[in-house]
Amino acid sequence: MLRIDLKIKKNKLGLLERQLDTVIDGVKKDLHRLGDACYKQCLKRIIPVSHLHRPHLRDSFKVKASRYDRYSALLSIYSTLWYAFYADVDASIPTRFPRRKKVMKWITPTGEVVYAKKAKGFHKRGLHFTYFGEIWLTEHFDRYVDMSLNKYLKV
């Protein structure tokens, strides 16, 4: 999950309460645009298209910008699938052996039934979409969120 937490210190700005609400709402909209752009321009390019008949990781991401405090806005980019974390990190799968039987049995995607006394281990490289998403957000933050606040105050 990617997350940006933006807090504005009221005493540093000297703004009225009404102006501060306008600023936070503007920042929230900009954060949502930043999250959408990160998903479309970065995450969709990293995560491959799946040809399986089940929910796809690539289409499972949600972008949410919200106010969780009077002076704070939060951007969250997260997946609704339980295996998103496992697709993101590297994994070493050891050689597998049957536990209760003499052989293991499984069905391949083509429909063949396979029997084996062991299954060779392998290394699965992760997609690292969290890492690349954080880099993208860092590089493009200034293009989407106006930190001078002039845009929000109509100065």
pLDDT tens digits, residue range 101-116? 999 999 998 999 999 9
Parent domain of 118: 91-124
Distance between CA atoms of residues 55 and 60, nearest Å: 7
Indicate whether 39 and 111 sit together in one domain: no
Better-scored residue on pLDDT, 76 or 7: 76
Indicate whether 28 and 62 sit together in one domain: yes
* E-only strand ranges, 8-148: 61-69, 72-79, 91-93, 104-107, 113-116, 122-124
Indicate whether 57 and 115 sit together in one domain: no
Indicate whether 6 and 73 sit together in one domain: yes
Indicate whether 96 and 143 sit together in one domain: no
Q: Please provide the average confidence, as pLDDT, over all residues in the chain.
A: 88
pLDDT in tens, 87-101: 999 999 999 999 999
Indicate whether 118 and 143 sit together in one domain: no
pLDDT of residue 143: 92
Indicate whether 46 and 20 sit together in one domain: yes
- Token readout for 124 is 């699965």
pTM listed for this prediction: 0.79
Indicate whether 113 and 71 sit together in one domain: no
pLDDT of residue 155: 56
Number of domains in the chain: 2
pLDDT of residue 147: 77
Band the pLDDT of 51: cuts 50, 70, 90. confident
Indicate whether 108 and 61 sit together in one domain: no
Q: How far is CA 57 from CA 14, 21, 30, 76, 129, in A?
A: 45, 36, 25, 17, 11
Indicate whether 66 and 137 sit together in one domain: yes
Indicate whether 105 and 45 sit together in one domain: no
Indicate whether 61 and 36 sit together in one domain: yes
